[in-house]
């Protein structure tokens, strides 16, 4: 793509685009570049943003652009892990049916206008409860500092420093993340862990040199960047999660093991890990996902695009042909809401797309509604009804 067009697109989303640049952008799209537009622009930015902003400059040309987009039966999906788009507050959702359809329609009428009784749903934020070795608890949240012994927290992350004392004694802490929360912890060995909503991690406040570094994801989801064993006298790092144990030598991986789900997902981003579920031991390679069925003890190893699994760490949701019921389960944890479907048939409707975790949930629901797959939705306090 021409660098000049890339600059114009960047200026548009930075709200710095000039009248002449707007005309160039429209002319470029209509000059046989619709395919490039689909692949490069739609998957990175919001169509609604491109349509609504500067609408006075684009009204004459937009309908022809939109009709070309709607007529397109399929698109080449760019592998998301190859694109550095997390800096943009993306809000794209594509309905999966016979083909892919973009969000360009808005058929809101009086009959299906969203019902907002009382919307007090807040966007998730950094918050956690720290349980110390003596059983006492500390609330961690933005704007609240905590300092004690080798522990410091600025309200957004908690950091454990290597103790100056050579005393070899293991004390355990628990970090519990509520619904609507997330938190980052840096362990005393330098390992970093990002914890998603509704998660709990057990770990020692310090590790013993030369001995295996063991922690436990009791439930929930966590992303790990492990300090390599070469920096710790060869000591391996292991994570227990339910009935499985993961051993690593220095790597990046994600574990999802929620209490209300029957599957545990272990996804390797970089390095190498072994996963032992007592019946078998498997070695994972980058871009592989190990899926353990807790009830049957059956396993599957799939090659996937890991970007969708770790998007939450970067402040995004990426859904790859996910049923709406699964999407709403993810959203319910982050926004701490209860979701019900009036029409159960809607639960299996599949979507593909990307959303920002910094958006209001009402905006996300409105975006889903524009696909015409749901009639409307209702928000009443922290309860959502999909109709």
Chain mean pLDDT for the chain: 79
Query: Quick check: pTM over 0.75?
Result: no
Beta bridge partners of 252: 225, 270
Same domain, 47 and 153: no
- Res 13: pLDDT: 58
Same structural domain, 146 and 249? yes
Residue 272 lies in a domain: yes
Does residue 180 sit within a domain? yes
43 plus 136 within the same structural domain:
no
Residues forming beta bridges with residue 274, ordered by sequence position: 247, 283
What does the alpha-carbon distance between residue 337 and residue 178 come to, in Å, rounded to a whole number?
A: 12
User: Of 361, 387, 364, which is closest to residue 374 (Cα–Cα)?
Assistant: 387
Of the pLDDT bands very low, low, confident and very high (cuts 50, 70, 90), residue 275 is: very high
CB within 8 Å of 125: residues ≥ 6 apart:
141, 142, 180, 181, 182
Q: Which residue has the higher pLDDT, 232 or 159?
A: 159
| CB of 154 closer than 8 Å to CB of 141 | no
Last residue of a domain, one of 76, 107, 139: 76
Q: Is residue 215 located within the same domain as residue 151?
A: yes
Lowest mean pLDDT among 51-60, 110-119, 227-236, 273-282: 51-60
CB within 8 A of 320, min separation 6: which ones? 305, 308, 352
Domain residues for the domain of 163 are 125-304
Share of the chain above pLDDT 90, in %: 51
Residue 168, Cα to own-chain centre: how many angstroms?
A: 38
In a domain, 71, yes or no: yes
Asked whether residue 237 falls in the same domain as residue 145, the answer is: yes
Give the confidence band of 110 by pLDDT, cuts at 50, 70, 90: very low
**CB-CB contact of 212 with 232 (8 Å):** no
Q: Does the structure show a pLDDT above 50 at 85?
A: no
Looking at residue 56, the DSSP 8-state letter turns out to be: H
The answer on 263 and 162 residing in a single domain is yes
Q: Would residue 352 count as lying in a domain?
A: no
56, 149: one domain: no
β-sheet bridge partners, residue 246: 239, 275
Within a domain: 92 = no
Q: List pLDDT tens digits, range 210-252.
A: 889 999 999 999 999 999 988 888 889 999 999 999 999 779 9
Co-location of 57 and 177 in the same domain:
no
> Is residue 130 domain-shared with residue 215, that is, in the same domain?
yes
Final residue before a domain boundary, out of 76, 93, 114: 76
Residue 194 lies in a domain: yes
Please report whether residue 336 resides in a domain.
no
For 218, counting Cβ atoms within 10 Å of its Cβ (0-12 exposed, 13-18 middle, 19+ buried), the class is middle
Q: Are residues 137 and 70 in the same domain?
A: no
**Residues 327-343 pLDDT 10s:** 999 999 999 999 999 98
Same domain membership, residue 173 and residue 299 = yes
β-strand partners of 131: 137, 174
Higher pLDDT, 24 or 186: 186
- Domain ends where: 46, 76, 106? 76
For residue 275 the two structure tokens come to 């996963």
Q: What is the spatial distance between Cα 74 and Cα 101, in angstroms, rounded to a whole number? A: 8
Are 210 and 144 contained in the same domain? yes
Task: Answer yes or no: is 382 within a domain.
Answer: no
The reported pLDDT for the residue numbered 74 is 38
CATH of the domain at 129: 2.60.120.1440
Beta strands in 170-280 (DSSP E): 172-177, 181-186, 192-195, 199-204, 213-225, 237-241, 244-248, 252-257, 263-270, 273-276
Domain count, the chain: 2
């Amino acid at each position: 793509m021409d660098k000049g067009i890339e600059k114009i697109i960047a200026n548009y989303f930075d709200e710095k685009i000039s009248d002449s640049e707007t005309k160039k952008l429209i002319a470029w799209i209509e000059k046989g570049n619709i395919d490039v537009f689909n692949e490069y622009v739609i998957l990175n930015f919001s169509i609604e943003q491109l349509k609504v902003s500067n609408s006075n400059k684009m009204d004459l040309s937009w309908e022809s652009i939109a009709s070309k987009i709607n007529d397109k039966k399929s698109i080449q999906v760019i592998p998301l892990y190859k694109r550095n788009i997390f800096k943009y507050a993306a809000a794209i959702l594509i309905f999966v049916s016979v083909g892919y359809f973009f969000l360009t329609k808005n058929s809101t009428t009086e009959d299906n206008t969203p019902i907002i009784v009382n919307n007090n749903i807040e966007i998730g934020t950094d918050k956690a409860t720290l349980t110390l070795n003596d059983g006492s608890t500390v609330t961690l949240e933005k704007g609240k500092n905590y300092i004690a012994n080798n522990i410091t927290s600025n309200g957004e992350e908690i950091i454990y420093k290597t103790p100056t004392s050579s005393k070899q004694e293991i004390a355990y802490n628990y970090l519990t993340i509520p619904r609507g929360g997330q938190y980052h912890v840096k362990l005393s060995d330098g390992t970093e862990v990002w914890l998603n909503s509704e998660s709990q991690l057990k770990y020692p406040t310090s590790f013993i040199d030369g001995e295996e570094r063991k922690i436990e994801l009791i439930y929930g989801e966590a992303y790990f960047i492990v300090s390599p064993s070469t920096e710790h006298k060869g000591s391996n790092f292991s994570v227990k999660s339910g009935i499985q144990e993961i051993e690593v030598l220095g790597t990046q991986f994600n574990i999802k093991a929620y209490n209300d789900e029957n599957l545990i997902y272990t996804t390797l981003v970089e390095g190498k890990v072994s996963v032992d579920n007592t019946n078998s031991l498997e070695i994972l390679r980058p871009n592989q996902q190990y899926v353990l069925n807790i009830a049957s003890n059956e396993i599957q190893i799939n090659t996937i695009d890991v970007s969708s699994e770790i998007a939450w760490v970067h402040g995004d949701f990426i859904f790859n042909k996910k049923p709406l019921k699964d999407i709403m389960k993810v959203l319910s944890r982050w926004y701490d809401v209860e979701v019900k479907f009036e029409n159960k048939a809607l639960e299996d409707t599949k979507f593909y797309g990307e959303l920002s975790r910094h958006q209001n949930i009402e905006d996300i629901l409105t975006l889903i509604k524009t696909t015409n797959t749901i009639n409307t939705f209702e928000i009443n306090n922290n309860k959502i009804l999909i109709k």
